[in-house]
Amino acid sequence: MGTDLDLINSALVAVFNDILTIEESELRKSQFDDISIKEMHTIEAIGLHNERTSSEVAKRLSVTVGTLTVAINNLEKKGYVERVRCESDRRVVRLKLTNRGRLFYRVHAHFHKKMVEAALADMDEDEKNALIKGLGNLHNFLKKSY
């Protein structure tokens, strides 16, 4: 690896680790200390104003429906998610956030907004576009490779 590659790799690893550590730490200190990181991602995948099927959420998380069901059962017991039967077809069950789930979603989204604003601080449009392109390339690589 060249110097630029080493620097970028170190920065990506550090940022990834910092985000996970900070999110976990902030969860433990907050009123949402009963949520795990995986459950946090499940809440994000359901979304603020959406009703999604388990299949849709599982696909967004790249997990099996069976794995998701365990997480949803726990989040339902904790009061973050509810299952809603479709009126037109009672066999269809959709997932939606409760008031507590939506509150958590908003608090967590605020953290992400501040994080992105900090990353973009003092960048001109070309630099922002380069960052967007690089992150898109990385995302595509990860999706294809893993």
Q: List the CATH number of the domain containing 111.
A: 1.10.10.10
Instruction: Write the pLDDT tens digit of every residue in 125-146.
Output: 999 999 999 999 999 999 898 7
Say if 99 falls within a structural domain.
yes
Looking at this protein, which amino acid is placed at residue 113?
K
Say if 8 falls within a structural domain.
no
Show the domain range for 82.
34-145
- The mean pLDDT of the chain is 92
Answer yes or no: is pLDDT of 87 > 90. no
Say if 9 falls within a structural domain.
no
Euclidean distance between CA atoms 19 and 112, whole angstroms: 10
Q: How many domains does the chain have?
A: 1
Say if 41 falls within a structural domain.
yes
> CA torsion angle for 103, 107, 113, 115 (degrees, to 10)?
-160
Say if 40 falls within a structural domain.
yes
Q: What's the pLDDT score for residue 23? A: 87
Q: What's the pLDDT score for residue 1? A: 55
